[in-house]
Amino acid sequence: MTPDNGGYATAAYALAALVYLGYIVSLKLRERRLRQRLAQLASPARPVPHTPEGA
Amino acid sequence: MTPPVVAPSVQRSARDPLLVVAIVGVVLVYVRALMFTPIEAMQGPAQKILYIHASAAFIALYVGFVLMAIASILYLWLKDEKLDRVAESAAEVGLAFTTVVLVTGPLWGKTIWGAWWTWDARLTSTLFLWFIIVAYHLLRGAVDERGRRARYSAVLGILAALLVPFIHLSVYLFRTLHPMPILLKPSAPSMPSEMQVTFFSAFFAFLLLFIALLRTRYRVATLRDQLADLEQERA
């Protein structure tokens, strides 16, 4: 008789997806943070735009 | 003062079509494996863990860590920083795939062997390799000087990859609970064709995911080095 162990397969597929997705998100966050930092360093210092008081 | 020149790779958009294609491929494999692939009569639905477990193991060991070793050897020879970045990226993506192997394996083992874990040669050596790759990344984080970091980690990467043939042969050399290969072996695969199609689809989808992640991780390493150069220039 075929055993009823579908829960284990579902759990394995869910955990694998969690590991892969977690890694993808961590890579994308690292990439975005580095790009932002590089863009900050690369851009020339811009003067703060003057806005009249009360505007 | 003129602003420092930033490489085009920094300015490029972070969109990654290959990663999107790979994710779609993996989702399709999930659907095919869970909903349209027959259930193995003796093992039940848990046998379907094979499609994600074996493909992750094969890609991590024979693609990820072999690439890490080759890039490390070439780095020690040519001293090209790009090779160090390839080795580092392959090691990290390989670690993610090995984590999947170590997470899914016990779930399959529990249904077939009645135990989550057994200290046999295949399982223990894979866990040992996982720890060495974690140590590889800790080492990289601990050494600031780029040349020295690349040299030390290249040596550790090469030593870690020596475990790969041992892991491969462990099922032949030792009495182990882990089954021998049923698909990727010199003789014909011992599996019905419908299951073979699912397995090879999974293998290629995860291989594509590995390549997409490797490219992303390499980009992260390049950006990090560019940032370090720029900060040094500013200091």
pLDDT tens, B71-114?
999 999 999 999 999 999 999 999 999 999 999 999 999 999 99
Q: Report how far apart the first and last C-alpha atoms of chain B are (Å, whole number).
A: 15
Closest CB to A31 among B44, B219, B230: B219
Percent of chain B with pLDDT strictly greater than 90? 79
Assign B2 a pLDDT band (cuts: 50, 70, 90).
very low
- Whether residue B40 is predicted with pLDDT greater than 50 in this model: the reply is yes
Residue A46, pLDDT score? 55
Chain position carrying tokens 């080795």: B87
- Whether residue B183 is predicted with pLDDT greater than 70 in this model: the reply is no
Assign B233 a pLDDT band (cuts: 50, 70, 90).
confident
Which of B10, B13, B18 to probe the A interface (max A CBs under 10 A)?
B10
Residue B121, pLDDT score? 93
Assign B28 a pLDDT band (cuts: 50, 70, 90).
very high
User: ipTM for the complex?
Assistant: 0.91
Closest CB to A27 among B3, B103, B213: B213
Beta bridge partners of residue B202, listed in sequence order: none
Cα→Cα distances A19→A22, B74, B102, B124, B233, Å: 5, 30, 11, 21, 38
Q: Give B230's contacts in chain A (Cβ within 8 Å).
A: 38, 41-42
Percent of chain B with pLDDT strictly greater than 70? 92
Closest CB to A38 among B41, B48, B227: B227
Interval B186-202 mean pLDDT: 86
Quote the pTM value.
0.90
What is the average pLDDT score of chain A? 86
Which of B 99-118 lie inside 8 A of A, CB atoms? Answer: 99-100, 103-104, 107-108, 110-111
DSSP codes, B84-120? HHHHHHHHHHHHHHHHHHHHHHHHHHHHHTS-S----
Q: Give B4's contacts in chain A (Cβ within 8 Å).
A: 41-42
Give the contacts of B197 (CB within 8 A, at least 6 positions apart): none
